[in-house]
Amino acid sequence: MAATAGRSSRRPIRVLVAKPGLDGHDRGAKVVAAALRDAGMEVIYTGLHQTPEQIAQAAIQEDVDVVGLSILSGAHMTLFPRVKKLLDQAGRSDILLTGGGIIPPEDVAALEQQGVGRLFGPGTPTSELVKYIEEWAAQRVSA
């Protein structure tokens, strides 16, 4: 859709990094945002305490390719599906929803079955996230 068409004209990958819910720890989200920016992506960081509705709305308004959620609060089984549902309802199922935090393996599997992209745990090198997003974007352009 719009995101794929925009990238075919060689615009940078646009990523929205968000901290949903009551979790106030954003150091990891800021590190990820900086790494993505350093890799040549356009990054929008929403700040702390965002609702799923605010995140989905910002993603649509900013015409992003990727939404990355940072969740350390344990609310991942509520927040990821809610953001995914809102994006899908807005006709933006083309946006990759990915993220990270403290997420047990069984929950990672359940979220992936619901259409959430790869999830990253603490200590994951930022180069892995950059590579994942770049590979995803490359597949979208060639599709």
Mean pLDDT of 96-120: 97
- Beta strands (DSSP E) in 39-129 are 42-45, 66-71, 96-101, 119-120
CATH code (residue 124): 3.40.50.280
Least confident of 1-10, 25-34, 46-55: 1-10
By residue range, what is the domain housing residue 70? 2-135
Determine, yes or no, domain membership for 13: yes
Determine, yes or no, domain membership for 140: no
Determine, yes or no, domain membership for 141: no
Look at residue 102 in the predicted model and tell me its pLDDT: 92
Look at residue 8 in the predicted model and tell me its pLDDT: 47
Determine, yes or no, domain membership for 94: yes
CA distance 66 to 97: 6
Is the distance from CB of 86 to CB of 52 less than 8 angstroms? Answer: yes
CA distance 33 to 13: 13
The number of distinct structural domains making up the chain is: 1
Determine, yes or no, domain membership for 46: yes
- Render pLDDT for 45-84 as a digit per residue (tens, 0 to 9): 999 999 999 999 999 999 999 999 999 999 999 999 999 9
Give the angle subtended at the CA of 98 by the CAs of 62 and 60, to the nearest 5°: 20
Return the number of other C-beta atoms located less than 10 Å from residue 101's C-beta.
23
Determine, yes or no, domain membership for 25: yes
Residue 6 scores a pLDDT above 70: no
Determine, yes or no, domain membership for 127: yes
